[in-house]
């Protein structure tokens, strides 16, 4: 039986919903939403190019995997800006947070997993094979690689869902640390190593590869994908790079830590991206070990009396 109090609450809720529907969205609030949708489109375009057989494209003469990696990094750039722009324009909302997670699932979950599968399929599939290895592959390595890709996608979904539940607000103070490897960083590890792999094959060796380099080097990518998936669902602590190392006033030492990767990227872009993303992924377990050692009580060693 409905009490007068319940009826009043229900009427107030309907009135508030009608007011929210009729309220126009501020013009500045559209900008972060467009950035998030841009990230989503970049992820979809990366999947499109990764679905093609590995070959040269008309985009700067890059091959399809290189184009997919660059699109992923462009989406990563948009994802890094949309939250800051939303806080700057005071247009943060639950809708924006959910939209961001959906875009990240495509760009940093499905896209890098599919790119890894394309790389392995190109080098380990049958001769002149243009498809994607799946659970029905005729070799064990193909089936294991597909399983790793599926596990990576599942871990990305779990990571994003946990982030939405555990983050209390959109304030910068609540975004200084991440619990588990962030999904953009995990995708960056996979994409940067694929980009470096293709760069070495095309530019460094110029088509004259050392014996077994193509296949042997591509074995590393699925292993990194699996480690990144485990890192996303772990409880290791990772710093938010923008909020902790870039935003606000910084010391001279912090400025040097920012300048060095930028200088490296100017001269060795592919190497710098791979080193930076892998170093960030490794910083989580290294920090956990360091904190555990600091908390460990000192061992008392009795000395012999004189």
Closest by CA to 162, choosing from 101, 78, 248, is 101
- Other C-beta atoms closer than 10 Å to the C-beta of 170 total 16
CB-count burial class (<10 Å; 0-12, 13-18, 19+) for 66: buried
pLDDT of residue 171: 55
Q: Is residue 111 part of a domain?
A: yes
Q: Is residue 40 part of a domain?
A: yes
pLDDT of residue 18: 55
Q: Is residue 254 part of a domain?
A: yes
CB-count burial class (<10 Å; 0-12, 13-18, 19+) for 153: middle
Q: Is residue 5 part of a domain?
A: no
Helix (H) or strand (E) holding 44: helix 30-51
Task: Let me know: does 198 contact 55? Beta carbons within 8 Å.
Answer: no
Phi, psi values for residue 238, rounded to 5°: -125, 140
Q: How far is CA 105 from CA 110, 143, 201, in A?
A: 7, 23, 30
Q: What is the pTM of this model?
A: 0.79
pLDDT of residue 70: 94
Q: pLDDT per residue over 122-142, tens digit each? A: 887 777 677 787 887 777 888
Which residue shows structure tokens 């000192």?
298
For residue 116, give both structure tokens. Answer: 């890894």
CA distance 28 to 51: 36
Q: Is residue 290 part of a domain?
A: no
pLDDT of residue 159: 93
pLDDT of residue 176: 67
Number of structural domains, the chain?
1
Q: Is residue 88 part of a domain?
A: yes
Task: Let me know: does 231 contact 281? Beta carbons within 8 Å.
Answer: yes
pLDDT of residue 252: 57
DSSP letters, 123-162, are HHSSTT--S---TT-SSHHHHHHHHHHHHHHHHHHHHHHH
Helix 269-295 vs helix 252-267: crossing angle, to nearest 10? 140
pLDDT of residue 237: 85
Q: Is residue 155 part of a domain?
A: yes
pLDDT of residue 156: 95
Phi/psi region, residue 15 (left: phi>0; alpha: psi -120 to 50; beta: rest), is alpha
pLDDT of residue 97: 82
Q: Domain containing 151: what range?
A: 29-284
Q: Is residue 54 part of a domain?
A: yes
Which segments of the chain have a pLDDT < 50? 19-20, 22, 306
For residue 175, give both structure tokens. Answer: 């975004």
């Amino acid at each position: 039986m409905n009490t007068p109090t319940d009826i009043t609450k229900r009427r107030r809720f309907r009135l508030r919903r009608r007011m929210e529907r009729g309220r126009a969205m501020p013009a500045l609030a559209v900008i972060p939403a467009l950035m998030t949708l841009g990230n989503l489109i970049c992820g979809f375009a990366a999947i499109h190019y990764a679905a093609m057989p590995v070959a040269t494209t008309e985009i700067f003469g890059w091959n399809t995997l290189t184009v997919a990696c660059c699109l992923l990094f462009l989406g990563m750039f948009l994802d890094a800006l949309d939250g800051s722009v939303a806080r700057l324009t005071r247009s943060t909302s639950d809708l924006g947070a959910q939209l961001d997670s959906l875009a990240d699932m495509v760009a940093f979950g499905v896209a890098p997993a599919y790119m890894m599968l394309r790389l392995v399929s190109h080098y380990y599939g049958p001769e002149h094979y243009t498809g994607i290895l799946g659970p029905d592959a005729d070799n064990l390595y193909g089936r294991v690689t597909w399983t790793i890709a599926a596990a990576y996608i599942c871990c990305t979904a779990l990571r994003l869902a946990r982030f939405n539940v555990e983050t209390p607000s959109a304030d910068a103070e609540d975004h200084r640390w991440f619990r588990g490897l962030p999904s953009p960083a995990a995708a960056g590890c996979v994409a940067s190593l694929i980009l470096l792999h293709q760069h070495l094959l095309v530019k460094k060796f110029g088509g004259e590869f050392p014996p077994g380099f193509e296949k042997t080097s591509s074995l590393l990518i699925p292993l990194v994908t699996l480690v990144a998936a485990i890192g996303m669902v772990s409880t290791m602590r990772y710093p938010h790079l923008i909020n902790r190392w870039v935003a606000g006033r910084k010391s001279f030492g912090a400025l040097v830590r920012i300048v060095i990767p930028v200088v490296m990227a100017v001269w060795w872009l592919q190497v710098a991206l791979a080193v930076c993303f892998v170093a960030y992924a490794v910083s989580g377990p290294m920090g956990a070990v360091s904190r555990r050692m600091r908390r460990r009580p000192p061992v008392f060693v009795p000395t012999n009396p004189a």
